């Protein structure tokens, strides 16, 4: 196939797409989120309509407690916008899949209609090329819509809310990827039935069946993961359920995993944003994203010895400020409850409940005199199964209560992710959490991509084989 033929087929695909009424309607609908984010600004000082009407100045500050710092508001804003964007994209992903299938399923049957087929298939172009051109037309259809949707949302958020997120671009290939396997199926149904209505109906019926089978597989895969992680033997399965399990495994391997598109996009988005964390401990499920502002980690300090330590020189020439995190066995350090009681007696202050990551514990705060200096001390006690995690903060009191010092301390503790031990992590894990590039085959994203691409290739090959045997 030479250049003019490829160009002709691509241009034909483009003409077919832009002439499609369904495409035009979807195009207008897909412009709406972008226009919405352009018209509505989400800022730390409220929600603004067209930059003029302030709707809700306190939308990020609700929930009681002391007024949050600017940094905390910005962090909340980021979180809120992430949530809003994810919901918008999820809705449109589902919407786009169903409507795009309805809009493009006629591409192949129309090409095979009596009269139309005679013209096209008598040209010196292979049937494979013509078939693939209809497939590419469908992908172009969704790609254009995805560019409009994501480009609109990205530009709207950037221009109106100052939320610049190039990682959103990953959603475009994810939407196309999710659609690619469905469209391959619709092309195959188009060749087999040579009817637009049948191709649409069969594809729309296939979508929930495929989703349901993968969903069943995913639930079972997570259950198995928990059972393996917690060393709980699985209850004996009946022959029927064992057969169903094998069939689900087989279908998951063979079938198109178009739903993984959004998971892969999320993984890619995270990879784009990825910054190596300051510290990771897999046994505790502990990740500390960044060092406390102005502090340096002691190179020789260790979590399970004297404790991981960060030090900062005192700005006013006094003693150093320090953060120290230490892990000891409960056997050696004592149970959390007993330790809390002892500390309460020793210090003469009550503890407060605290949660770091997914682990709850107790928090003490007191001041002590050290020479001429008044020191602010904070201590967090968290028990993770048979290990006790102690976090100590020690700084000159006047310096520690300054707004910038407090903000830096809060930012540090809120950058922690503490999931707990492996068994605990396994119990609360979802398929989304376990889905990763280096996971076992049930959760492996590379396998998911490869098997889905193989499914697409085989489906297209089957469609082409059938097409090559048609006598027009």
Partner 1 sequence: MDRSSPAVSVRALSKVYGRGLFGGGGFRAVDELTLEVGRGQVFGLLGPNGAGKTTLVKMLLGLARPTSGDARLLGAPVGDALVRRKVGYLPEGHRFPPYLTGVQMLNLFGEMCGCERDKLARRVPEVLELVGMRDAAKRKLREFSKGMTQRMGLAQALIHEPELIILDEPTDGVDPVGRAAVRQIVQGLKERGVTVFINSHLLQEVELICDRVVIMVKGKLVREGAIEDLTPRNGRYRFELGSVPANLRVLLGDLGAGFEAHERGFELQLSDTELDRCVDLLRTAGVSIRGILARRLNLEQAFIQLVKAQQQGGAQ
Least distance to partner 1, CB of residue 95, Å: 24
Q: Applying CB under 8 A, which of residues 11, 24, 341, 427 lies at the interface with partner 1? A: 11
* Residue 413-442 contact track with partner 1, rule CB under 8 A, x = bound: ------------------------------
Measured CA to CA in angstroms, residue 341 lies from 109, 344, 345, 351, 408 at distances of 77, 5, 6, 9, 30
Task: Name all contacts of 410-415 with Cβ < 8 Å and 24+ positions apart.
Answer: 410/69, 410/72, 411/71, 411/290, 411/292, 411/293, 412/290, 412/291, 412/292, 412/293, 412/323, 413/356, 413/380, 414/75, 415/288, 415/289, 415/290
Contact 375, 394 (CB under 8 A): yes
Using the rule CB under 8 A, give the single segment among 11-19, 41-49, 57-65, 94-102 that binds partner 1.
Answer: 11-19
Q: What is the Cα–Cα distance from 329 to 177, expressed in whole angstroms?
A: 48
Considering CB under 8 A, how many residues would be counted as binding partner 1? 27
Least distance to partner 1, CB of residue 460, Å: 20
Cβ-in-10-Å burial (0-12, 13-18, 19+) of 124 comes to exposed
Asked if residue 122 binds partner 1 (CB under 8 A), the reply is yes
Q: At a CB cut-off of 8 Å and minimum separation 6, what does 472 contact?
A: 112, 114, 117, 118, 121
Neighbours of 39 (CB within 10 A): 13
Sign of dihedral through CA atoms 205, 210, 213, 216?
Answer: negative
Longest dimension (CA), the chain: 99
* Residue 189-208 contact track with partner 1, rule CB under 8 A, x = bound: --------------------
Using the rule CB under 8 A, give the single segment among 13-21, 241-249, 308-316, 391-399 that binds partner 1.
Answer: 13-21
Q: At a CB cut-off of 8 Å and minimum separation 6, what does 113 contact?
A: 194
Asked if residue 472 binds partner 1 (CB under 8 A), the reply is yes
Q: What is the Cα–Cα distance from 348 to 366, expressed in whole angstroms?
A: 9
Question: Which residues does residue 369 pair with via DSSP β-bridges, in sequence order?
Answer: 374
At residue 13, what are phi and psi to the nearest 5 degrees?
-60, -45
Q: Applying CB under 8 A, which of residues 74, 113, 249, 432 lies at the interface with partner 1? A: 113
Least distance to partner 1, CB of residue 121, Å: 6
Contact 172, 143 (CB under 8 A): yes
- The closest alpha carbon to 190, from 181, 202, 204, belongs to 202
Using the rule CB under 8 A, give the single segment among 59-67, 112-120, 173-181, 275-283 that binds partner 1.
Answer: 112-120
Q: Is 60 helix (H, G, I), strand (E, B) or coil?
A: coil
Nearer to partner 1, 7 or 314 (CB): 7
Asked if residue 9 binds partner 1 (CB under 8 A), the reply is yes
Nearer to partner 1, 12 or 249 (CB): 12
H or E element in which residue 286 lies: strand 286-288
Asked if residue 121 binds partner 1 (CB under 8 A), the reply is yes
Asked if residue 22 binds partner 1 (CB under 8 A), the reply is no
At residue 470, what are phi and psi to the nearest 5 degrees?
-80, 130
CA atoms within 13 A on the CB side of 419: 17
Asked if residue 24 binds partner 1 (CB under 8 A), the reply is no
Q: Which residues of 380-404 are buried (b: 16+ CB within 10 A; e: fewer)?
A: bbbbbeebbbbbbbbbbeebbeeee
Asked if residue 242 binds partner 1 (CB under 8 A), the reply is no
Asked if residue 64 binds partner 1 (CB under 8 A), the reply is no
Nearer to partner 1, 243 or 468 (CB): 468
Asked if residue 15 binds partner 1 (CB under 8 A), the reply is yes
Asked if residue 123 binds partner 1 (CB under 8 A), the reply is yes
Question: Which residues does residue 368 pair with via DSSP β-bridges, in sequence order?
Answer: 375
Asked if residue 385 binds partner 1 (CB under 8 A), the reply is no
Q: Applying CB under 8 A, which of residues 51, 83, 116, 313 lies at the interface with partner 1? A: 116
Stretch 126-145 residues interacting with partner 1 (CB under 8 A): 126
Nearer to partner 1, 141 or 393 (CB): 141
Q: Is 444 helix (H, G, I), strand (E, B) or coil?
A: strand
Stretch 260-289 residues interacting with partner 1 (CB under 8 A): none
Angle at 188 between CA 141 and CA 250, to 5 degrees: 105
Using the rule CB under 8 A, give the single segment among 116-124, 412-420, 422-430, 451-459 that binds partner 1.
Answer: 116-124
Nearer to partner 1, 22 or 68 (CB): 22
Q: What is the Cα–Cα distance from 329 to 431, expressed in whole angstroms?
A: 32
Asked if residue 27 binds partner 1 (CB under 8 A), the reply is no
Least distance to partner 1, CB of residue 23, Å: 11
Using the rule CB under 8 A, give the single segment among 32-40, 81-89, 110-118, 373-381 that binds partner 1.
Answer: 110-118
Q: Applying CB under 8 A, which of residues 63, 115, 235, 236 lies at the interface with partner 1? A: 115
Asked if residue 20 binds partner 1 (CB under 8 A), the reply is yes
Nearer to partner 1, 144 or 411 (CB): 144
Using the rule CB under 8 A, give the single segment among 35-43, 113-121, 319-327, 439-447 that binds partner 1.
Answer: 113-121
**Residues at the contact surface with partner 1, assessed by CB under 8 A:** 2, 4-5, 7-9, 11-12, 15-16, 19-20, 113-119, 121-126, 471-472
């Amino acid at each position: 196939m030479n250049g003019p033929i490829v160009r002709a087929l691509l241009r034909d695909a483009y003409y077919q797409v832009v002439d499609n009424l369904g495409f035009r309607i979807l195009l207008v609908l897909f412009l709406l989120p972008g226009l919405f984010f352009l018209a509505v600004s989400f800022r730390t000082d409220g929600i603004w309509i067209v930059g003029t009407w302030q709707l809700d100045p306190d939308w990020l500050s609700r929930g009681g407690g002391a007024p949050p710092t600017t940094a905390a508001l910005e962090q909340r804003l980021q979180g809120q916008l992430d949530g809003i964007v994810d919901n918008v994209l999820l809705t449109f992903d589902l919407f786009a899949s169903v409507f795009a299938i309805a809009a493009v399923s006629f591409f192949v049957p129309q090409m095979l209609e009596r009269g139309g087929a005679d013209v096209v298939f008598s040209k010196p172009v292979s049937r494979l090329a013509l078939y693939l051109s209809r497939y590419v037309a469908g992908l172009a259809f969704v790609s254009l819509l995805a560019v409009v949707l994501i480009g609109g949302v990205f530009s709207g958020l950037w221009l109106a809310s100052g939320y610049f997120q190039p990682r959103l671009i990953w959603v475009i290939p994810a939407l196309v990827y999710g659609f690619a396997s469905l469209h391959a199926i619709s092309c195959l149904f188009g060749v087999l039935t040579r009817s637009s209505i049948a191709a649409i109906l069969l594809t729309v019926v296939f979508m929930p069946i495929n989703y349901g089978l993968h969903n069943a597989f995913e639930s079972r895969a997570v259950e198995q993961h928990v059972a393996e992680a917690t060393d709980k033997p699985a209850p004996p399965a009946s022959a029927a359920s064992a057969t169903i399990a094998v069939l689900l495994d087989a279908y998951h391997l063979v079938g198109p995993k178009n739903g993984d598109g959004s998971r892969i996009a999320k993984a890619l988005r995270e990879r784009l944003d990825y910054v190596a964390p300051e510290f990771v401990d897999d046994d505790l499920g502990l990740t500390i994203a960044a060092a406390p502002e102005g502090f340096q980690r002691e190179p020789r300090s260790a979590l399970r010895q004297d404790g991981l330590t960060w030090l900062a020189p005192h700005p006013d020439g006094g003693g150093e400020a320090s953060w120290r995190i230490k892990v000891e066995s409960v056997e050696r350090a004592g149970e959390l409850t007993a330790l809390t009681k002892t500390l309460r007696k020793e210090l003469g202050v009550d503890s407060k409940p605290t949660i770091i990551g997914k682990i709850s514990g107790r928090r003490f705060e007191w001041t002590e005199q050290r020479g001429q200096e008044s020191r602010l001390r904070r201590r967090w006690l968290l028990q993770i199964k048979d290990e006790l995690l102690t976090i100590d903060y020690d700084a000159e009191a006047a310096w520690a209560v300054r707004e910038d010092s407090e903000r830096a301390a809060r930012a540090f503790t809120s950058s922690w992710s503490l999931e707990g031990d492996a068994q605990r992590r396994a119990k609360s894990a979802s398929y989304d959490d376990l889905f990763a590039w280096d996971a076992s085959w049930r959760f492996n994203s590379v396998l998911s991509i490869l098997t889905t691409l193989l499914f697409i290739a085989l489906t297209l090959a089957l469609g082409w084989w059938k097409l090559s045997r048609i006598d027009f």
